[in-house]
Amino acid sequence: MARWWRGAVIYQIYPRSFLDTNGDGVGDLPGIIARLDYVASLGVDAIWISPFFKSPMADFGYDIADYRDVDPLFGTLDDFDRLLAKAHSLGIRVMIDQVLSHTSIDHAWFKESRESRENDKADWYVWADARDDGTPPNNWLSIFGGVAWQWEPRRGQYFLHNFLASQPDLNFHNPAVREATLDNVKFWLDRGVDGLRLDAINFCFHDAQLRDNPPKPAELRTGRGFSADNPYAFQYHHHNNTQPENLAFLEDLRALLDRYPDATTLGEISSEDSLATMAEYVNDQRLHMGYSFELLTDDRSAAYIRGTVEDLEAKMTAGWPCWAISNHDVRRAVTRWGSDAANAESLARQLVALVCSLRGSVCLYQGEELGLPEADVPFEALQDPYGIAFWPNFKGRDGCRTPMPWSGDAQSGFSSGTPWLPVAESHQALSVHVQDAQPDSVLNGVRHLLRWRKQHPALVLGNIRFLDAPEPVLAFVRSERDETLLAVFNLSAQPVRWTLPSELPAVSPLTDHGLVSGEITGNALQLPAHAVFYARLG
């Protein structure tokens, strides 16, 4: 079976913000086609395209009304087929988002289900009677704030929504739902996609007994992907997601994928113990790869990164991880992990190098190769319902979703119309056009790094072993067959000195990676701010 995805670098495209070709202010599939040569120039192996399916766009495509059609906002099925063909001609694999746990309230299934308790789709969603006092059936909460139940007067029942009230949860306990879901997945596999990024894949099943979630102590109310003042953080989510029944469904999904030997799955997993869930979900019978929000947090310490990776390595002995430090749901990494604007460029390069040096595959989010900081979107321009609801304590996800800066003009070459989100002034000087012309830019540095990485099997496929080092130094060894490499990162904006462990074999520095590097003096390694040091061992 082909395993092209092992060690692959996957470039995430958020289509609304990539390139608009028709002047409506929203990016589209023809825009992706027009920029595929640019994507190929980066040296990535695949693209992951966030949802482009028919949708009312309450959650910008993650509320799907038709799994088998392209929303006119983005183009047509013919456009997608052209995109697929061009990507393949450039040697780029294509992965698409699949949002299986819930639909839009505009989906035909839900429109039928809500009409009565007797129709053919009556049991396709999670319906429950009110308690005697009219309140929801249990205490479950929505990630986007408030209760996770919405009253439907036509049925005289509540329906479950783990996200927006316009995103009702499907009832995966119903075998007809599972069968229809797999059939929708098959539609895209037959069309030729190379992989599926599975959104919120641990949310497919709920506790059939609808038991209350237990409370979480105040000191433990920290979450990944949501703010600590969100009531969602007040509970242990033992019953509204990550149910044992999901494992059998993942095995059915894998059986379908195995009929398409080149295709892969990447599951997004966010649970009470995401690393343990990843270990359970990712193996030869279930998902090919998994990633969680563990490195999408504010903690950038060497101890945290090491602990996270070692924890997963210990638990997921039979699976393959995928790492990301940025995506469309969190503040951009240069802002989240940076504190010194003077070192922003070296930090941006280091962050890409770091995620590309860990054992596993990699997701890079559009603009990460430019070193884009988080955009400051004023309240009156916000589009994200999550940010609007929690302003000003949490500003939502719009700051990482602003248009891709292709040129340095007012609209950044993104659209001839008014962009759906304002173009960030701070991004104009970091545009593709500007950085293309600068040999030492972040963009050209990332291009060089990704090609250099492919020359080193240890970085693509090797195992990983961490070395003891004081903060802010992160050090580990990657080994694959005859190649053993040392990777050392100074995670601070200040120079540091690290004494190399005496048990290391001969250290031969590698300097052709194009990054700010370090220098060995005697038995010590001198590392400038945000330096990355690679060396061959032995």
Predicted confidence (pLDDT) per residue in 427-451, tens digit:
999 999 999 999 999 999 999 999 9
Which whole number is the average pLDDT over 24-40?
Answer: 98
Residue written as tokens 């004023």?
378
Residue 74 CA: distances (Å) to CA of 52, 78, 81, 87, 187: 6, 11, 13, 17, 19
For residue 537, give both structure tokens.
Answer: 């061992």
Residue 319 and residue 275 in contact, taking contact as beta carbons nearer than 8 Å: no
Burial call 218-230: b when 16+ CB within 10 Å, e when fewer = eeebebebbbeeb
CATH class of the domain whose range is 102-171: alpha beta
253 and 35 Cβ atoms separated by less than 8 Å? no
* Residue 12 host element (H or E): strand 9-13
Query: What local confidence, expressed as pLDDT, does residue 226 receive?
Result: 53
Q: For residue range 136-195, what is the model confidence (pLDDT) as tens digits?
A: 999 999 999 899 999 999 999 999 999 999 999 999 999 999 999 999 999 999 999 999
Q: Which residues are annotated as catalytic?
A: 199, 268
**Mean pLDDT of the residues in the chain:** 96
Cβ–Cβ under 8 Å, residues 300 and 131: no
CATH of the domain spanning 9-101+175-204+221-379+439-452, picked from 3.40.640.10, 3.40.50.300, 3.40.50.720, 3.20.20.80: 3.20.20.80
Q: Which amino acid is at 206?
A: H
pLDDT category at 408 given cuts 50, 70, 90 is confident
Residue 110: predicted pLDDT: 98
pLDDT of residue 1: 57
E strand or H helix at 521: strand 519-521
3-state secondary structure of 67: strand
Range 40-53 average pLDDT: 98
Burial 75-91 (b: 16+ CB within 10 A, else e): beeebbebbbebbeeee
pLDDT digits (tens, 9 = 90+) for 204-257: 999 999 999 999 999 888 755 455 678 999 999 999 999 999 999 999 999 999
Each residue's pLDDT tens digit, 442-483? 999 999 999 999 999 999 999 999 999 999 999 999 999 999
The listed CATH number (3.40.1390.10, 3.20.20.140, 2.60.40.1180, 3.40.50.2300) that belongs to domain 459-537: 2.60.40.1180
Domain boundaries, the chain: 9-101+175-204+221-379+439-452, 102-171, 459-537
